[in-house]
Amino acid sequence: MRRTYSNVIWKEALPRLTADMVMVHLAALASLAAVVMWQSAGGGGVRTTQLVRELRGFYLHSFLPLSAIFPIVFFASGFYTCSRGYLTNYKWAVLARGVTLGTLIFLFAAFLASRAEALPRSAIVVFLVLVNGMTVGARVVKSLISPPGGASRTKSDGRVIPAGAGAASPVLVVGGAGYIGSILCRKLLAKGKTVRLLDSFVYGNEAVRELFGHPRLELCVGDCRNIQSVVSAMKGVDSVIHLAAVVGDPACEQDRRAALEINYAATRMMTEVARGYGVKRFVFASSCSVYGETEEIVDEQSATGPISVYAQTKVDSERALLKARTAGFHPVILRLATVFGNSYRPRFDLVVNLLTAKALQNGIITIYNGDQWRPFIHVSDVAEGLICALDAPAALVDGEIFNLGDSRLNYTLTQVAETIQRLAPGTRVEHVENPDRRNYRVCFDKIRRELGFECRVTLEEGIEDLRKALVTKKIVDYTDPLYHNQRFLKSAGRLASSEEIDAQVMAAFALTLENHQSGLATVHARS
């Protein structure tokens, strides 16, 4: 997500800004009126008249001019660029924090201007309660009466179909609003394909919002664990690209049950639904982390050795998909290298992206075990690789596993740091040794030889693009929890299934939950 004023959709933001300012002033007037009523209840007409005069003067000469502070703080808090895409409790927390911060800055400014207490404390409390209630409440009401996607038509099964959607069989992208999916959907549309996007918008919808209304985009808002959402999304589909997952070791460790449900059980359920609807091509985004720790250069024939919950769920999903292969159902597994680069939904919990941001902001980066190897791939090249597997003849990819990357992008962490230093001169690098010795170097000859895929974006180009986005403030604050999966999910709360029936379905598709959890415990012991 790119948080910058230049990316504000002003025709949408201005009415919301105007409404917020009206609510701020109504809350101010109401809080002042409450003070007058409170004082009047105790009698004393002369004192009440004087108080009304004082408060009216305060409103006209202090609150009115200083109220310009509120829209500035609201913009800085992301009310009109980011928070619209936030969901549930985290969204309301962002709004409440912005309103409270605006109030505190206003009170401080009023004190500096008059060197006196601006308002009775009771008025401040009433104002905070009212303005929080109004700004949050207005958005709650709007979310209840307006579906995502604006003017698109909504079908009874929950699918949103834009006017003019074509008859061509769509490509279903599960998790299409994420780091990779937001780029993939644009590339598919640019190639003339019809795209059906299934996403629960856990991280918001801003990464794909500009696509809403596209004549070849079909939007399905739903959880990949919900069988009704999946069944609806699969109807009339010939091919699926499955990206939905709790991504990253920290995020999976934080909520292992949700990781099991989303990363593994939902994949099994989608596999069965896809086969039932005659889906031919099922492209699954796995990870090179399935190889675990090894000193060898690994390829698709190498043994897997996952040492994290995330990697284990990927291995189990691969096995389930390949076991489901039939003459009419052609799964293909892509094991992604470590992804880096800017996206419509940026992430700074990825090693290259995080180190680049730290170098630019702090001038210092810390490298743990710098001699460890990692394979890297730019997020745009991931999307190209997924499309390559989607479009390849079935005979080439049916039941196959491909490492997705490029052997030229195998780097040690020290080499990554040196590359960042060249693009951000003056960066100091600190080297630290710790027990985490995960190390893997990957061969990508198979995908180059059989599908003709090679990465187009170098490590240097990806870092430079990130550097420009950070320097020009297209990305304002890389520490925003929205850019960090584990931090955001911790703020938003557990990713529990919204319906009890969904949890039961997930348990049924997780082999037996107890057996799988014991497998995860083994993985945890290894790590």
Phi/psi of residue 409, nearest 5 degrees: -105, 20
Q: Measure the N-to-C terminal CA separation of the chain; round to a whole number of Å.
A: 32
pLDDT for residue 295: 86
What's the CA angle centered on 420, arms 439 and 246, to 5 degrees? Answer: 50
pLDDT for residue 54: 78
pLDDT for residue 215: 93
**Identity of the residue numbered 104:** L
pLDDT band at 5 (very low <50, low <70, confident <90, very high): very low
Phi/psi of residue 125, nearest 5 degrees: -65, -45
Q: Does position 327 have pLDDT exceeding 80, yes or no?
A: yes
Kindly report, residue by residue over 452-463, the tens digit of the pLDDT.
999 999 999 999
- Segment 20-33 shows an average pLDDT of 87
**Identity of the residue numbered 212:** F
Q: Which residues of 442-460 are buried (b: 16+ CB within 10 A; e: fewer)?
A: bbbebbbeebebebebebe
How many CB atoms within 10 Å of residue 507?
18
Q: Does position 333 have pLDDT exceeding 60, yes or no?
A: yes
Scan for tokens 């305060």, then name that residue. 58
pLDDT for residue 494: 58
Rounded Cα–Cα distance for residues 100 and 64 (Å):
18
Q: Which domains does the chain have, with CATH numbers?
A: 5-145 (no CATH), 155-526 (3.40.50.720)
- The SS3 assignment for 249 reads helix
Q: Does position 431 have pLDDT exceeding 90, yes or no?
A: yes
Q: Where are the beta strands (DSSP E) in 417-506?
A: 428-432, 441-442
Q: Which residues are within 8 A (CB) of 457 and not within 5 positions of it... i.e. 6 or more apart? A: 341, 378, 380, 381
Which residues does residue 412 pair with via DSSP β-bridges, in sequence order?
373
pLDDT band at 253 (very low <50, low <70, confident <90, very high): confident
pLDDT for residue 493: 66
Kindly report, residue by residue over 108-149, the tens digit of the pLDDT.
887 787 666 656 777 788 888 888 888 877 777 766 665 444
pLDDT for residue 89: 52
Which of 379, 460, 480 is closest to 4 using CA atoms?
480
Could you give the maximum distance between any two Cα atoms of the chain, in Å?
A: 92
Kindly report, residue by residue over 103-113, the tens digit of the pLDDT.
888 888 877 87
What is the pTM for the complete model shown? 0.74
* pLDDT, mean over the chain: 84
Q: Does position 158 have pLDDT exceeding 70, yes or no?
A: no
pLDDT band at 512 (very low <50, low <70, confident <90, very high): very low
- Choice among 6-15, 78-87, 196-205 with the minimum mean pLDDT: 78-87
